[in-house]
Structure 1
Amino acid sequence: MLKKWIKKPTFLVSLTLLLALTACGDGTVEEATTNETEVETTEPETELEVESDDEAAVELFEMKQITSWFPQVENAGQYYAAMEGFYEEAGLDMTTEPGGPQVSSISIVSSGSAQIGMAQADQVLYAINEGIPLVAIFANFQKTPQGIMFHVDQPIETFDDLADGYEIYTAAGAGYWEYLVSQYNIEKSQNRVYTGDSSAFVSNDKAASQMYVTSEPFYLQEQGVETGHLMIADSGYSPYGDVLFTTKDFMEEHPEIIQAYVDAITKGWEAFKADPEKIYDYIIELEPEKTAEQMAYATEQMEDLVFGGDAAEHGVGYMREERWETLIDQLYELELVDSQIPATDVFTTDFLH
């Protein structure tokens, strides 16, 4: 706070009064003069406080993002940014809401109820094919953590081995399932709907199920169920995982906000890479069922999936046009999209570091 001292000056007052008196009889002029007097009108020194405007409050831009699942270390970049105040540093007042089996981040963002959503790359393409003007701005996973798990004692080494009478649980409409059926000996009749409950898998040695390599194998091992797995990305079908997207309108109207957001989550991922354990307690506060042991396991599995591949050279979040083109071609051949959408219409690297 700036303080100014103000003192009123002392001054000398000299009053000379000239009285012209005309004597009626003799014409003598008498001069009456007061004594020269010093009159000091000094007021007490007064301290005035003056507010400084040098540090005016910065107004934050209110935003909301929807993740792909309940709070988890797999979305560490977003949660680290919240924990460490990176959003505020970038000028954002961020609300993060979790996804889940009944939450459609695409619907929420396209309706304008949130500005940022998270989904798999093929899901973003399905939405664009339906006329929803989305654009991908960041890929959390260079290599999707999705895979097919099976009981470890089963003789499975390739996707073709799953054709031998296995019941295969996948989410309804999963693009990777259509691809596996088209490229391997797997039959559509083997498919079962994945509900998130692993009990059917546990009780059936001839069952296989979708999973995240960062999650289900750990929890099943805790139950005494050992698993093996095949990674979807190794099948020839390799969408980016947990892609962050917004609408084209929002991106074009607020490019500075998108840049601030990408800066914040990039800083979050880099901080996570340097000190992953720091985020564990924060996530447990948000999702008490999580444990430090599970997150440590997931962190180890995530290292190459997030920071490997093109991210090793270009930085976390990077996306390559050729990858998008390949995915678009595959979905078009599978008749899951109506046209070969130009890759440059569905993603941008303009905001990446």
Structure 2
Amino acid sequence: MNASTLSSTAATAGVLTICLALTASPAFSIDKISFGTDWLAEADHGGFYQALADGTYAKYGLDVEIKQGGPGAQNRALLLAGKLDFYLGTQQEQLTGVEEGIPLVDVAAFYQKNAQVILTHPDADIETFGDIARLETIYMTHGGFGAYFEWMKANFTGFRDEQFKPYNFSSAPFLADTRSAQQGLITAEPYEIERQTGKEPKIFLLADSGYAPYATMITVQQNLIDRDPDLVQRFVDASIEGWYNYLYGDNAAANVLIKKDNPEMTDGQIVYAIDKMKQYGIVDSGEALTKGIGCLSAERYKQLFDALVKVNLLQPDTDYTKAFDPRFSCKGVGMSLKERS
């Protein structure tokens, strides 16, 4: 073997060594994380399923498992126990959690408007939110009775505890009583009532009457923020992109995943929910229009804190700033995806 051949062989071996080294170690590591939602899979979770379906989470180096909530699920407790990395929480439960010493923190707010509504019969003589106080009965969950109904009593004349009857996720009692109202989410109950009766009920969005809480929050343990803020940031950013693509792009693959997790979900319900999200600005309104979907601000937390103190649901010395961390949102992430739609 001559010198030229030896040189060529050595060069080839060097290239092979480099190639083997490159293939042996990936460009980046994939972080496995688990994310628990607040209910059975539905369009209200669409952006998260979109980020999973279209590879956005993978692009950010995340292998995400979505664990749906629903009857019997304890996803918030699993987050507290360290069995989940992220949870889909609510702003109010974080504020009350601070008072109880619970170390959970909101890092993004995907519903700029809370989707909670009060529904009345389409033929009822109810034209404004305040008119609902004239009705004899309002079907609510015990959670709603202890939360937004306190706000209703404090801000409108005529609402009284005697109107409360338990809502057990069936509209049958409401439909049988024309002098009643019922709680619901704008993306769910109105569709089902219209499907059953052929008429859409009158819809009163609490957010449009002054009820200001965010909803659909990404919630984490404080120790995850302290330990790995980059992981938190990547999950928030990928989820934001997922929501832009779900609302303004091709969401077919995400809806397939939603229906796989929740076989009772229908295409009609999903289409209705997305339409209402857009019509009422549930996701993309307020600060989200200029700072991006998911935007979370200290001002909104102070506003809710003051409202809860007013109705004696929080102590005035509660440090409400421990309930949120504004560093991960309001950066304009994903806004170009909407512009391209």
Taking structure 2 as the reference length, the TM-score comes to 0.85
Q: What is the aligned partner in structure 2 of residue 52 from structure 1?
A: 20
| Secondary structure of 2:143 counterpart | coil
Q: What is the aligned partner in structure 2 of residue 346 from structure 1?
A: 323
Q: What is the aligned partner in structure 2 of residue 328 from structure 1?
A: 305
Check 1:115–1:216 CA distance in 2 against 1; reply closer, same or farther (3 A cut): same
Q: Which amino acid in the other structure matches residue 221 of structure 2? A: T
Whether 1:285 and 2:260 are equivalent positions in the alignment is: yes
Taking structure 1 as the reference length, the TM-score comes to 0.83
Give the RMSD, CA atoms, in angstroms. Answer: 2.1
Check 1:191–1:153 CA distance in 2 against 1; reply closer, same or farther (3 A cut): same
Q: Structure 2 stretches of 5 or more lacking a match?
A: 332-341
Query: Contact 1:144–1:232 (CA<8 Å) still a contact in 2?
Result: yes
* Residues 269-293 of structure 1, C-alpha deviations (whole Å, 9 max, x = no match): 1211331542323322222222222
Query: Contact 1:149–1:228 (CA<8 Å) still a contact in 2?
Result: yes
| Secondary structure of 1:302 counterpart | helix
1:226 paired residue among 200, 208, 213: 200
* Residues 77-124 of structure 1, C-alpha deviations (whole Å, 9 max, x = no match): 211111112222212221111112433433221121111111221122
Q: What is the aligned partner in structure 1 of residue 211 from structure 2?
A: 237
1:300-339 equivalences in 2 (<5 Å): 300-303=275-278, 304-339=281-316
Query: Contact 2:98–2:320 (CA<8 Å) still a contact in 1?
Result: no
1:213, CA displacement in angstroms? 0.8
Larger Cα-atom Rg: 1
Identity %: 27
1:189, CA displacement in angstroms? 1.1
Write the distance in 1 (CA, Å) between the matches of 2:296 and 2:129: 27
1:267, CA displacement in angstroms? 1.4
Q: What is the aligned partner in structure 2 of residue 162 from structure 1?
A: 132
Q: What is the aligned partner in structure 2 of residue 205 from structure 1?
A: 178
Write the distance in 1 (CA, Å) between the matches of 2:100 and 2:85: 19
1:91-110 equivalences in 2 (<5 Å): 91-110=61-80
2:274 paired residue among 273, 281, 299: 299
Whether 1:61 and 2:31 are equivalent positions in the alignment is: yes
Q: What is the aligned partner in structure 1 of residue 190 from structure 2?
A: 217
Q: Which amino acid in the other structure matches residue 216 of structure 1? A: E
Check 1:135–1:311 CA distance in 2 against 1; reply closer, same or farther (3 A cut): same
Write the distance in 2 (CA, Å) between the matches of 1:53 and 1:323: 51
Write the distance in 1 (CA, Å) between the matches of 2:231 and 2:268: 36
| Secondary structure of 2:328 counterpart | coil
Check 1:349–1:137 CA distance in 2 against 1; reply closer, same or farther (3 A cut): same
Q: Structure 1 stretches of 5 or more lacking a match?
A: 1-7, 11-41
Structure with greater helix share of residues:
2
Bigger Cα displacement from structure 2, 246-255 vs 338-347: 338-347
Write the distance in 2 (CA, Å) between the matches of 1:122 and 1:132: 13
Query: Contact 1:77–1:272 (CA<8 Å) still a contact in 2?
Result: yes
| Secondary structure of 1:305 counterpart | coil
Q: What is the aligned partner in structure 1 of residue 336 from structure 2?
A: none
2:247 paired residue among 273, 280, 283: 273
2:113 paired residue among 143, 156, 172: 143
1:142, CA displacement in angstroms? 0.5
Bigger Cα displacement from structure 2, 46-55 vs 221-230: 46-55
